[in-house]
Amino acid sequence: MRVLLHTPLKPPDSPIPSGDREMARGLARLLRRLGHHVVMPAGSRVAAGVPPADALLALERRARTQAARLIARWHRLPVGHPERFDLWFTYHCYYRKPDWLGPVVTRALGVPYVLVEASHAPRRAQGPTRVGHRAVERALAAADLVLTVNPRDVAGVRARLRPGAHQVWLPPFIDTAPYAAARRMAKAGTGNAPPLLLSVGMMRTRDKLDSYRVLAEALMGLRDRPWRALLVGDGPARAEVEALMAPLGDRVRFVGAVPRGDLPAIYASADLYLWPAINEAYGMAFLEAQAAGLPVVAGRTGGVPAVVADGVTGILTPVGDAAAFAAATAGLLNAPAERVRLGAAARARMAARHDEAAAGRALAAALRRLR
What digits encode the pLDDT tens for the residues 61-80?
Answer: 999 999 999 999 999 999 98
Of the ranges 125-129, 190-194, 275-279, 362-366, which one carries the lowest mean pLDDT score? 190-194
User: Quick check: 198 and 232 in contact, CB under 8 A?
Assistant: yes
- pLDDT exceeds 80 at position 303: yes
- The model's confidence at residue 191, banded by pLDDT at 50, 70 and 90, is low
Collapsing DSSP states into helix, strand and coil, what is residue 260? helix
Q: Are strands 252-256 and 314-318 parallel, antiparallel or unpaired?
A: unpaired
Name the segment(s) of the chain with CATH classification 3.40.50.2000: 2-173+355-368, 177-353
- CATH number for the segment(s) 2-173+355-368: 3.40.50.2000
- Supply the DSSP symbol for 193: P
The secondary structure element, H or E, covering residue 3 is: strand 2-6
User: Tell me, which fold does domain 177-353 have in CATH?
Assistant: Rossmann fold (3.40.50)
Integer Cα distance of 334 and 317 in angstroms: 17
Q: CB 91: neighbour CB atoms within 10 A?
A: 27
pTM to 2 decimals? 0.91
